[in-house]
Amino acid sequence: MDAEIKGAQRAVEAHLDHVLAPFGTSDVAEAMRHATRGGKRLRACLVLQSAKLHGVSEAQAIWPATAIEAMHAYSLVHDDLPCMDDDDARRGQPTVHVKWDEMTAVLTGDALQALAFQLAAHPEAGSAEVRADLALSLARAAGAQGMVLGQALDMAAERPGAALDLEQISALQAGKTGALFEWSAGSGARMAGADPGPMIRYAAAMGQAFQIHDDVIDVTGDAASAGKAVGKDAAAGKATFVSLLGLDGARARAEALVDEADAALSPYGEGADPLRRIARFAISRDN
């Protein structure tokens, strides 16, 4: 598992350095570098492994892999804003609005979203059919029926008196985390002109397991290894998978979802073992 993740991390860091070089040294450009640095690169890893499984070269797949990390980074920069989650630390570093200011954080997130599309539609990402398909599906995954919808539901869940049930939390997470995971895993199939269906089913189950594990970390983890504040949801009285299922129940559900993710990969046989390991990693990480 570590080999795939570390490989993705190296490839993404190098490619981001390359694509961000022409942006100069303005505050926004520097904040774009700051916000895209570090992180697990799980989404990029999904893109790269999905591409490999479908016989697509890393030279081609690095474009959507970097695109999805830029998209993810934008969502974190905006999510950390005072009017949203109001977080001071992310990946063990000060958040953009703390290191610079709110204005820079808004613009940096905006620029990173545009960058995501610039990378997904890049001429080296594949044929025109592939690039148009990647850009369109990424827009759908990121927008008000995907990630932004999840973010909005998440913010509503933090309002006093909001008491979400399991179905509502699952819907929230399907948008907030699932949409980008599904796009990542599906992109290798898209690049090969294959049906992304099985990969999307894998990522949907895996993404939910990932999110349940996030809730587990929020209860059992410490800020130092998590690289961000923990215990926030409980302190805010916010419904989570853990508050609804209990710690053991949440862990059991995450396990069951990883089994489901495994099963979705059956058409691919052993070739999909790296993706199976990524799903296991999603529920064993400490940050």
* 175 makes contact with its own copies (CB under 8 A): no
- Does position 152 bind its own copies by CB under 8 A? yes
Closest CA to 252 of 223, 194, 205, 212: 212
> Taking the complex as a whole, how short is the minimal distance between the CB of residue 28 and its own copies, in angstroms?
5
Instruction: List the one residue from 1, 89, 149, 244 that touches its own copies (CB under 8 A).
Output: 149
Candidate residues 6, 14, 17, 102; the one interacting with its own copies per rule CB under 8 A: 102
| Residue 39 makes contact with its own copies by CB under 8 A | no
Q: Is 29 in the site for its own copies (CB under 8 A)?
A: yes
Q: How far is the CB of 29 from its own copies (least distance, A)?
A: 6
Q: Which residues contact 2 (CB under 8 A, 6 or more apart)?
A: none
d(CA 46, CA 226): 21
Number of residues that bind its own copies (CB under 8 A): 52
Is 58 a binding residue for its own copies by CB under 8 A? The answer is: no
Residue with tokens 């990630």: 147
Pick from 1, 139, 171, 247 the residue near its own copies by CB under 8 A: 139
Query: Nearest approach, Cβ of 83 to its own copies (angstroms)?
Result: 4
**C-alpha dihedral (169, 91, 68, 51), degrees to nearest 10:** -100
- Say whether residue 174 binds its own copies (CB under 8 A): no
Euclidean distance between CA atoms 283 and 2, whole angstroms? 14
Helices (H), 221-240: 223-226, 232-235
Binding mask 76-95 for its own copies (x = CB under 8 A): --x--x-xx-----------
Question: Is 285 near its own copies (CB under 8 A)?
Answer: no
- How far lies 76's CA from each of 134, 272, 280, in Å? 22, 29, 24
